[in-house]
A and B are shown apart, each in its own frame.
Chain A
Amino acid sequence: MAKKKLNSILKGTFLISEDSFKNWRLIIFLSFLAIVMIASSHSADSKVHEIARLTEEVKEYRSILVEGRKKFMELKMESSISNKLKEKGISASDAPPKKIIVKSQN
C-alpha cells in the first residue's frame, strides 16, 4: 500500500491524472505564496540597503553642515572681521550705536 503510494508520487500521477486540476490549483497557489515571500524579503533587503545609503548621506550632509558652520563661525567672529578690515583702515567704533525709537506715529 505504502509502496504503491510512494510510487505514484514519484511517477507524478497526481499531476496528470484526471482530477489533477485541484492539485495544480494548490501547487500554483503555494508557488504564488512563495514568490510573494521571496519578493517581499528582497524588497526588505533593498530597503535596508536604501536606509544604509540614506544614513550615509545624512552623515555626509551633517559633516557639510558642521564644516560650513565652522567656517561661518570663524568668518563672523568680530576678531576676524576686524582683522580683515584693518587693511582698509577701518576699525571698530569706540562709541556705541544709538537706537532711536519712535513711540507713536499718527
Chain B
Amino acid sequence: MFFFALLVVYKLVDIQFVQGDQYRELAEKRTVQNVTIPANRGNVYSADGSLLATSVPKYDIRFDALTPSDKNFKKHLKGLSDSLAKFHGKSSSYYQQNIRKARANKNRYFLLARNLGYTEYLRFRSFPLLNMKSYSGGVIVEQTTKREHPMGAIAERTIGYERWDDQGNVTRPGIDGAFGSKYLRGKDGKRLKQKIGKGQWKPISDANEIEPQNGYDVYTTIDVNIQDIAHHALLEQLEKFSADHGSVIVMETKTGEIKAISNLGRTSKGTYYERLNYAVGESHEPGSTFKLMAMVAALEDKVIDTSDVVDTEKGILSFYGRKVRDSKHGGYGKISASKAFEVSSNTGLVKLITGSYKNKPSKFVDRLYKMGLNNTLDLPIIGEGKPFIPHPRDKKEWDGLDLPWMAFGYGVSLTPLQTLTFYNAIANDGEMVKPRFLREVKEFNKIIVPFEKEVINSAVCSKETAKKVQQMMKNVVDKKHGTAHNIYSPNFSMAGKTGTCQTEYWKEPGLYISSFAGYFPAENPKYSCIVVIHKPDKKVGYYGNVVAAPVFEKIAQKIYSDTPMVDAIENLEEKFAAVNSSYDSYYATAQKYKTIMPDVKGLPAMDAITLLENMGMKVTLKGSGNVKSQSVSKGKKIKKNQTVILQLS
C-alpha cells in the first residue's frame, strides 16, 4: 500500500516539476495564442471614384445531416429541398435524395452552396432547417474574404487580382496584382489572446502587440464610361466577325492616362470574356500600322519627303524570290509618298524604305531604336510583352528580307500598347509619354503617393515630321482614297492608320490581325486609341478598316457626343422695345378693366384669353391668329361666367 502511495507521489512530483514546464506550455497553447489580425486589403477605384475591386465576405453553406432530430428532419426535408431546387435551378427530388443519402452516410459536412454573397446568404438562412440554430438545424456557415469586381467582367483582366493556390504559388494579373504588395495589401497585426467562450478570443496583454495596418486605396486612371463604351464596341465587333480575341486601349494624349483597356477572348462556346491582358502582354507583328514608324524614320532622316513620287510597280515587288503585294490588284501607279501611306501601299512603302536605306539598313534600324521602339514601356503590370526589332549587326537575325519586310510591319513585333504609345507620341507632336494606370494612392482622403505624367522621350521626332505624318493620318480618314474613309464623320475629325496583317502564316494561310491605331480629334488630339482584332472570320471580313476601325469610330463618336460643347454669352438681360411696350399695354389693360369689357381687338388670342378669363368670363375662340372682332362690345358691363366669342383672323 505504502509502495503505491510512493509511486503516486513520485508521479505527482514528476508531472509537477520535471515535466511541468512542458505541460504548462501545452495548456497555454490551447488557451493562449498569438493571433494574427489580418489587415484589410485596399480598394481599387476608377478615376471618378467608382469601385473597381474590393474585398467582401463570401459564405459557404454546409449541412450537418445528423444534427436535426428525426421529427424536424422529416418535417422540413421537403421544404428545404424545394427551396434549394429553386435557388440552384435543379429538381427538388434531386436534393431530397442527396440529403437523405447524406444522413444515411452520417455526413456531417454536406456542401449546400459555395461563395454566396450576403443577400444570397440571408436567403439561405430563411430556408427550412437552415433557419434554426446550428445545434438544432445543423447549418454550418463558413465565411471567407474574397476579392470582388463590382464592374463585373468589364476590364477584369486589367483590374486584376492577387491569388495564392494551395502550393503557395501566386498569380498577379493587372493593377490589383501589380500594386498588391506595395500598396494594397497592408500589414497584418499580431496580438496575444486568450480563449473565452463561444469560440472567441480576448486580448490579454499590451506587450508585443502589432497593430494591423490596412492597405492603401489605389485610384486608377480608368474612366468607367469610356471603359463601358470600349468594352461593348469591341464585344459587338468580335461577335460580328467571330474573331478569336481582341483588345482596345484608350489613352489620354497629353498625360498618358489609360482611360479604358479592354481585352476579350473567345471561349469554346463562342462567348467572350476578359481572358488575358492581350493589350499589354501580346507582342505580335503589327503589319501596316508599323508603316507610321517607317515613315517617321525616313522623314526624320530626311531621306524622303512627302511629295516624293514612288512607282508602286503594278502592285508586286520581288525580293530574293519572295513577293510583296499590294492589297489592290495592279497597284496604285505612280503616287506621292504621302499617298502611298494613305492608301497603305505595301510596294510603295517598301520601295521608299529600300530605296533610301538599302546600303545602310543599320541607319534605319538605329533610327527606330532611337525612337525607343525596341524598349519595353517598363509597366508596373506584370507580363509586358517584349518588342522585337532585329538589327543588321545581329547576323543571326538579319537577312536581306528584313529591311523591305520591316517597311510594312513584318519581321518586327510590338504589343498593342507599345504601338499606341508611339501613335500617341505623334499625336503629341513628338513627345512620348509613358502610359499610366494609376492616378494616386490614398488612405481615406489623404494622398499617400501621387502619380505624375512621365515622359519617356521628349521628342521621338521633330515637330515638322510629326505635323507631316499627322496630316497623312488625317487623310487616311478624310480623303476618299484613304483606307479608313469608311469611318469618316462630318461631325468630328479622326486620324489614324489601318493595319491588316497575316498572322500564323507558317501554320495556315488566311489568318489575319486587323487593327486600327489613331487619335481624335485630328486637330488638337485629346485621346489616342488602338483596336486590334485577331483572326476575324475571313468570310465576314478581315481588313483593318472594316473590322477594327468601326470600334475606333464608335468610341470617338461616343466621346464626342458625351463632351458638351460650351458656349458663353455675356448677358441675358436683352431688352426688346416691341416686347416691352406690348407687355406694358397688356398690363395697363389688365389693371384698368375689372368689370367692364375691354377692347381686345388686335391682341393675340393668347393675351385676350388670359385677360378675359382673369375677369371671370368664358371665352370661345373661332379661327386662329389675332382677335378680329368680339361678341361683347367694349365698355359693356360683364357678368361672371358670361361667354364671349372671339373671331380670330
Residues of A within 8 A of B (CB): 44-45, 48-49, 52, 59-60, 62-64, 66-67, 69-70, 73-74, 77-79, 92-106
**Is B197 on the interface with A (CB-CB < 8 A)?**
yes
Contact of A45 with B196 in the complex, beta carbons under 8 Å: yes
Q: Which of B193-241 contact A (CB under 8 A)?
A: 196-198, 200-203, 224-225, 228-229, 231-232
Contact of B491 with A105 in the complex, beta carbons under 8 Å: no
Residues 535-575 of chain B, each 1 if its beta carbon lies under 8 Å from chain A, else 0? 00000000000000000000001101111111111111100
Residues of A within 8 A of B67 (CB): none
- Tell me which of B200, B560, B561, B567 contacts A101 (CB under 8 A): B567
**Is B148 on the interface with A (CB-CB < 8 A)?**
yes
Residues of B within 8 A of A (CB): 50-51, 54, 56-57, 117-119, 143, 148, 150-152, 196-198, 200-203, 224-225, 228-229, 231-232, 491, 557-558, 560-573
Contact of A60 with B118 in the complex, beta carbons under 8 Å: yes
Extra contacts besides A73-B50, A73-B151 (6): CB < 8 Å:
A48-B202, A62-B56, A63-B117, A96-B561, A102-B569, A104-B571
Can you list 24 A-B contacts with CB-CB less than 8 angstroms, sorted by A residue number?
A: A45-B197, A48-B196, A48-B200, A59-B57, A62-B56, A64-B118, A66-B148, A73-B51, A73-B152, A77-B224, A78-B558, A79-B228, A79-B232, A93-B561, A94-B557, A96-B560, A96-B563, A96-B564, A98-B564, A99-B566, A103-B568, A103-B569, A103-B570, A105-B571
The distance in angstroms between the C-alpha atoms of A70 and B151, with both chains bound, is 6
- Tell me which of A74, A98, A105 contacts B573 (CB under 8 A): A105
Residues of A within 8 A of B57 (CB): 59-60, 62-63
Residues of A within 8 A of B563 (CB): 96
Count, A-B residue pairs, CB within 8 A: 105
The distance in angstroms between the C-alpha atoms of A93 and B231, with both chains bound, is 20
Residues of B within 8 A of A98 (CB): 564-567
**Closest Cβ of chain B: how far from A51's Cβ, in Å?**
9
Contact of A77 with B228 in the complex, beta carbons under 8 Å: yes
Contact of A66 with B150 in the complex, beta carbons under 8 Å: yes
Contact of A74 with B197 in the complex, beta carbons under 8 Å: no
Residues of A within 8 A of B119 (CB): 63-64, 67
The distance in angstroms between the C-alpha atoms of A102 and B574, with both chains bound, is 12
The 4 tightest CB contacts between A and B, nearest first, are A63-B118, A70-B150, A48-B202, A99-B564
Contact of A73 with B150 in the complex, beta carbons under 8 Å: yes
Residues of B within 8 A of A93 (CB): 561
Residues of B within 8 A of A49 (CB): 197-198, 200
Contact of B152 with A74 in the complex, beta carbons under 8 Å: yes
The distance in angstroms between the C-alpha atoms of A70 and B52, with both chains bound, is 9
Contact of A48 with B201 in the complex, beta carbons under 8 Å: yes
Residues of B within 8 A of A102 (CB): 568-572
Contact of B56 with A66 in the complex, beta carbons under 8 Å: yes
Q: Which of B150, B558, B560, B563 has the most CB of A within 10 A?
A: B150
Residues of A within 8 A of B228 (CB): 77-79
**Closest A residue to B199 using CB positions:** A52
**Closest B residue to A59 using CB positions:** B57
**Closest B residue to A95 using CB positions:** B561
**Closest Cβ of chain B: how far from A90's Cβ, in Å?**
14
- Tell me which of A44, A79, A101 contacts B202 (CB under 8 A): A44
**Closest Cβ of chain A: how far from B161's Cβ, in Å?**
15
**Closest Cβ of chain A: how far from B32's Cβ, in Å?**
14
Residues of B within 8 A of A103 (CB): 568-571
Contact of A66 with B561 in the complex, beta carbons under 8 Å: no
**Closest Cβ of chain B: how far from A74's Cβ, in Å?**
7
Given contacts A44-B202, A102-B569, contact A96 B229 (CB under 8 A): no
